[in-house]
Amino acid sequence: MRYAHEVGKVRAAEQALMARLPEGALMRRAAAGLAATCARLLPGVYGARVVLLVGGGDNGGDALYAGAGLARRGASVVAVLASDRFHREGLAALRTAGGRVLKAADTGPVGAAIEDADLVIDGLTGIGGTGALREPYAGLARRTEDIDAIVVACDVPSGVDAGSGRVEGAAVRADVTVTFGTYKPGLLIDPGAAHCGVVELVDIGLGAHLPDPDVVAAWPVDLRVPQPGSESDKYRRGVVGVLAGSERYTGAAVLCVGGAVHGGAGMVRFASTPHPVELVRHHWPEAVTTVIDRTSAALEQVGQVQAWVVGPGLGTDEDAEALVEAVLSTDLPALVDADGLTVLARRRDLLRREAPTVLTPHAGELTRLLGNRTPRQTIEARRLECVQRAAAELSATVLLKGSTTLIAEQDRPVRVNPTGTPRLATAGTGDVLSGLIGALLAGGMPAIEAATAGAYLHGLAGRLAAAPPTDGPSGPAPGREAPISAQDVVTALPDAFRTLA
């Protein structure tokens, strides 16, 4: 797992640690880690041209000390001061080591130094950055676009909100981000995450002072999907019931069942109206299908299951509402998606239940679920805050889809899915995800684990479908990317599962 802490908690931990250390020791630790990474990234330190972009706070101080360290090893270091305020001891250390200093207003020499640099350290703002970068910070951040130099962000790429990943204006796009003590949520959540490049964590000794994390990103080693044992039979491995599709919308049913079949369910029971049932039988002969009388919504017609998925392509009429109500009246884990969420938005009373409920909205669906009080754009801009609020208000496990999928459950760290790809933003992939998570729920995984593993495998399947590995001279590597369909994601799921072995 990658653990991230809210900025306030990072500051509190730093205070606690600093109280036990000599003045400035913590900053020098951070700067030494930053300098070591920069040295590794350069073909050689001696003679390398390094530019420091230096803001008025301690982030700039880190950059100055790191620059001093590189200058002592023979690098040619230029600091560009963005503010009349700067870290005095840091600047003195740089000067002593032979570094040069420019002001941001010296635009000609600053531009030339950045153009000629081998490596740029971005020390404009770190966890103290708030709102859109102001000038001259913003202009300096823009100057790092499309340059040949390696761009290394100190702690957080400047312009990225460390707490949330929001980017409101110009922001540095780093090749590498060297972060101190713990990850910050903004390094794991888009759009911030997309600005970080490779993130390296430098241990500055904060660990003992940090509370439980606020956000975690799951890595394959953390994911434990149900494995069939020698005594498994199809009933013990978990039977998932899928209620999806309608005479009007049939594709969602086929894709959702596909996700469940390839998600490792022992058996998939599918129930719907005649046309989707016919199509599912055709595509997925493994599924046990039932044509149900929607008006009666009697789930006994479908047979025994261990978890339900309801919603994709279901329609939003009264019959659909009766099916959602029937599922949520059971004491089984249930996942509600798509049309099911639209129904739930007008029937939030159905969420009062004991068994686990997983909701998988995109931002627009979450707006409706939250009673249209929070516009879609706000949810997209403040994804972390909104998913946490939704989990608390709706008493459910909420998986918010988007460029970084987030999964929240009340009083638990928010999970961030690291495998997403923009290629997945295509019709029908959400239906695959709900079937997949349903299968994992039926296999006995707790709701947050099933949602986390489902999002991970789904993203990875999307990546593998877009760029299957090809054999290169140094072993298998991702091939060129191609557009993908939701069916391709279903097909790639077994390969995604195999990576977890």
Ligand X SMILES: NC(=O)C1=CN([C@@H]2O[C@H](COP(=O)(O)OP(=O)(O)OC[C@H]3O[C@@H](n4cnc5c(N)ncnc54)[C@H](O)[C@@H]3O)[C@@H](O)[C@H]2O)[C@@H](O)CC1
Question: With contacts defined by CB under 6 A, how many residues of the chain interact with ligand X?
Answer: 29
Say which entry of K ion, ligand X, none residue 57 contacts (CB below 5 to 8 A, set by partner kind): ligand X
The whole-angstrom separation of Cα 273 and Cα 258 is 18
Nearer to ligand X, 275 or 382 (CB): 382
Structure tokens at 449: 């684990």
Q: Which of 179, 177, 151, 209 is nearest to 17 (CA)?
A: 209
252 is in an annotated binding site: yes
99 is in an annotated binding site: no
Sheet holding 76-81, edge to edge: 100-103, 76-81, 49-54, 119-123, 150-154, 176-180, 198-202
Tell the smallest beta-carbon distance from residue 354 to K ion (Å).
47
Tell the smallest beta-carbon distance from residue 87 to ligand X (Å).
8
Q: What are phi and psi of 274, to 5 degrees?
A: -55, -45
Nearer to ligand X, 188 or 448 (CB): 188
Say which entry of K ion, ligand X, none residue 134 contacts (CB below 5 to 8 A, set by partner kind): ligand X
Tell the smallest beta-carbon distance from residue 298 to ligand X (Å).
59
**Judged by CB under 6 A, does residue 126 bind ligand X?**
yes
Tell the smallest beta-carbon distance from residue 262 to K ion (Å).
42
129 is in an annotated binding site: yes
Binding mask 77-116 for ligand X (x = CB under 6 A): ------x-x-------------------------------
**Judged by CB under 6 A, does residue 58 bind ligand X?**
yes
317 is in an annotated binding site: no
Burial annotation 312-337 (CB, 10 A radius, 16+ → b, else e): bbbbbeebbbbbbbbbbeeebbbbbb
Q: Tell me, what DSSP letter sits at residue 155?
A: S
Q: Residue 102, SS3?
A: strand
Tell the smallest beta-carbon distance from residue 29 to ligand X (Å).
7
**Binds ligand X (CB under 6 A): choice among 35, 48, 59, 496:** 59
Say which entry of K ion, ligand X, none residue 429 contacts (CB below 5 to 8 A, set by partner kind): none
Instruction: Report the largest interatomic distance among the alpha carbons of the chain, rounded to a whole angstrom.
Output: 83
The whole-angstrom separation of Cα 113 and Cα 50 is 9
User: Which strand (E) or helix (H) includes residue 461?
Assistant: helix 447-466
Binding mask 26-45 for ligand X (x = CB under 6 A): xx--x---------------
Count CA within 13 A, CB hemisphere, residue 280. 34
Say which entry of ligand X, K ion, none residue 378 contacts (CB below 5 to 8 A, set by partner kind): none
**Judged by CB under 6 A, does residue 57 bind ligand X?**
yes
401 is in an annotated binding site: yes
Rg (CA), the chain: 26
Residues 412-471 that bind ligand X (CB under 6 A): none
- Per the CB < 8 A criterion, the answer to whether 423 and 462 are in contact is yes
Residues that bind K ion (CB under 5 A): 122, 153-154, 158
Nearer to ligand X, 27 or 268 (CB): 27
Going from the C-alpha of 493 to that of each of 76, 435, 438, the distances in angstroms are 50, 12, 14
The whole-angstrom separation of Cα 29 and Cα 69 is 12
Binding mask 144-183 for ligand X (x = CB under 6 A): ----------xx------------------------x---
The whole-angstrom separation of Cα 314 and Cα 385 is 30
Say which entry of K ion, ligand X, none residue 122 contacts (CB below 5 to 8 A, set by partner kind): K ion
**Binds ligand X (CB under 6 A): choice among 2, 4, 51, 55:** 55
Say which entry of K ion, ligand X, none residue 321 contacts (CB below 5 to 8 A, set by partner kind): none
Structure tokens at 299: 């789930």
Residue 239's DSSP bridge partners are: 267
- Helix, strand, coil % (nearest 5) of the chain? 40, 20, 40
Tell the smallest beta-carbon distance from residue 59 to ligand X (Å).
3
Interacting residues of 353 by C-beta distance below 8 A, sequence separation 6+: 328, 329, 331
**Binds ligand X (CB under 6 A): choice among 6, 62, 321, 337:** 62
**Judged by CB under 6 A, does residue 241 bind ligand X?**
no
Tell the smallest beta-carbon distance from residue 238 to ligand X (Å).
46
- Per the CB < 8 A criterion, the answer to whether 301 and 282 are in contact is no
Q: Pinpoint the alpha helices (H) of 42-119.
A: 58-72, 88-96, 107-116
Structure tokens at 480: 């060129």
126 is in an annotated binding site: yes
Among 57-65, 97-105, 444-452, 483-491, the segment contacting ligand X (CB under 6 A): 57-65
**Judged by CB under 6 A, does residue 64 bind ligand X?**
no
Annotation: binding site for K(+): 59, 122, 158
Annotation: binding site for (6S)-NADPHX: 58-62, 126-132, 137, 155, 252, 313, 362, 431
Annotation: binding site: 58-62, 122, 126-132, 137, 155, 158, 252, 313, 362, 401-405, 430-431
Residues that bind ligand X (CB under 6 A): 14, 18, 26-27, 30, 55-60, 62, 83, 85, 125-134, 137, 154-155, 180, 204
